[in-house]
Structure 1
C-alpha cells in the first residue's frame, strides 16, 4: 500500500502559532506527536509529546525524576504560564531533527523502516504538483501497525 493510500489528515500547527494552542491541540486530539509546518506549510518538525512534556518541566526534574516528587500543585499552575507567550518555534526542543517525510509512492515497509529508524510516531507525506510541494497528510504508527498486522 502506498503512502498516498495510508496517509490521513493530521492536525498540525505552524512555527508562528502560539505554543499554548499547540499544547492544547496535542491534548484535545490525543496526538502522539506534534506536527509542525513552516510558514510555507511544509514539514518543519515532528516532536513526540514526551519531548514537549520535557519542555514544561524544571531542568532538575529532568535530570533526576525523583526530584519531581517535590513539585506542588502551585508549580503545576505555573506550567501554562511557562509557554503562554512563546511561539511554537520557541517552545520546541533545541535539538530539532529534520522530520521524516516520504512521497506519495513510498511503500508501507519503506515507511515502517523510516519510522523505526527515526523513532518518530508518524511520517509526513508530501506531494509535488509542478513546482509546488504540499503536505498531503501523515502516516501514524497506529495506522501502519493496523496495515502490517491485519487490518485494512
Structure 2
C-alpha cells in the first residue's frame, strides 16, 4: 500500500490566517492538524496542540496546578485569547523536519515520518503540487483493518 491509496483532500491555511479560524476548521472538520502553505506548497504542519499551546496561559503550561485554581467561567473562554492572532504565532519557533512525502511512499515510510516529526499528518506532494494528506487516523485504520 502506498500514500496514493490513503491520501485525501485536506484543508490548508496560510501563516497569515487568523488562528481562531484555524481552530474552527480543526473543530468543525475534526482534524488533527492543518497544512500551512506558502505559494501553494506546504511550509509547515500546524497540529491542533500548537493552537492550544498559543491559547493556554503560559503559567498553566508551566505549572498545571495553577490551571485548577482558575474558575470554570474563565476556564471555558480561554480560546478568546486567540482573537487577533495568526497561524504564524502558533507555529514552533524552531521548525522540525517538514512531514512531506510523495505518492509512492509506503505506509512504513509514512509511519516513520509521522513518528520522527511528531506530526499527526503527512502532506503528499507530487511535482510541487499538494495532493492532500494522509492522517494518523487513516494510516492506523488501514494498518489495523482485518
User: What TM-score results when the alignment is normalised by the length of structure 2?
Assistant: 0.88
Whether 1:136 and 2:117 are equivalent positions in the alignment is no
Deviations 1:17-62 (A, max 9, x none): 1111111111111111222112x11112213212321111111100
CA distance in 1, matches of 2:122, 2:75: 35
Q: Are 2:5 and 1:5 aligned? A: yes
Work out whether residues 83 and 91 of structure 1, in 8 Å CA contact, stay in contact via their aligned partners in 2: no
1:41 maps to what in 2?
40
Q: TM-score, normalised by structure 1?
A: 0.85
Q: Which residue of 2 aligns with 1:53?
A: 52
The answer for unaligned runs of 5 or more in structure 1 is none
Q: Distance in 1 between matches of 2:114 and 2:78?
A: 34
Count of matched residue positions in the alignment of Structure 1 and Structure 2: 145
The 1:5/1:65 distance shift into structure 2, 3 A limit, reads same
Distance 1:116 1:90 in 2: 24
Contact persistence 1:14–1:41 (CA under 8 A) = no
* Structure 2 unmatched runs, 5+: none
Deviation at 1:102, TM superposition (A): 0.4
Q: How does 1:9-20 map to 2 (within 5 A)?
A: 9-20=9-20
User: 1:29 aligned to 2:24?
Assistant: no
Cα displacement (A) at 1:78:
5.1
Hey, what does 1:96 align to over in structure 2?
95
